[in-house]
Amino acid sequence: MLNTDRPTRASSSDHALLLKVRQRLVTAGYQPGQALPTGLIAHHLQANLPAVKQAIAELARARKVEFRPNGEHGPGYYMPAPHRPNSLARHGVRARYSA
C-alpha cells in the first residue's frame, strides 16, 4: 500500500534520466514543431518507455517541450516553436520605462 503521509520525491535515477532525455533532445537535432518519438528516445537511452514519458512530461511542465492534444501527428509531445519577439520590437519600437 502506498504511504500518502509524505510527499513523494523524485529519485536520483529519475533526475539522471531527465538530464539524459533533455541532453538527447538537444543533441538529436529535433526541429521546432517536430513530434518527439518517445519510443525511439527510450530505445536510444536504453531506458523503459514509461520512465522516458514521465521525464518528457516533466520537461513539458518546465516548458522545455510542448504537449499538444491535437498535434499534427496526434496527441503527444513536440519540440516548442522558437520564441518570437514582440511584433513591436520587430519594427524598432521599444518600450519606455520610467522610474
**Per-residue pLDDT tens for 41-51?**
999 999 999 99
Amino acid of residue 38: T
Residue 51, C-beta contacts closer than 8 angstroms, at least 6 positions apart: 14, 17, 42
Residue 79 in contact with residue 33, Cβ under 8 Å? yes
Of the two residues 18 and 89, the one the predictor is more confident about is 18
- ∠ Cα 3 4 8 (to 5°): 90
User: Could you tell me the pTM of the whole model?
Assistant: 0.69
Residue 65 grid coordinates: 517541450
Would the pLDDT of 4 be above 90? no
pLDDT above 90 covers a percentage of the chain that reads: 60
Within 10 Å of residue 58's Cβ, how many Cβ atoms? Answer: 18
The answer, yes or no, to whether residue 71 has pLDDT greater than 90, is no
What is the predicted pLDDT for the residue at 85?
54
Number of residues in the chain: 99
CATH class (in words) of the domain with range 13-78? mainly alpha
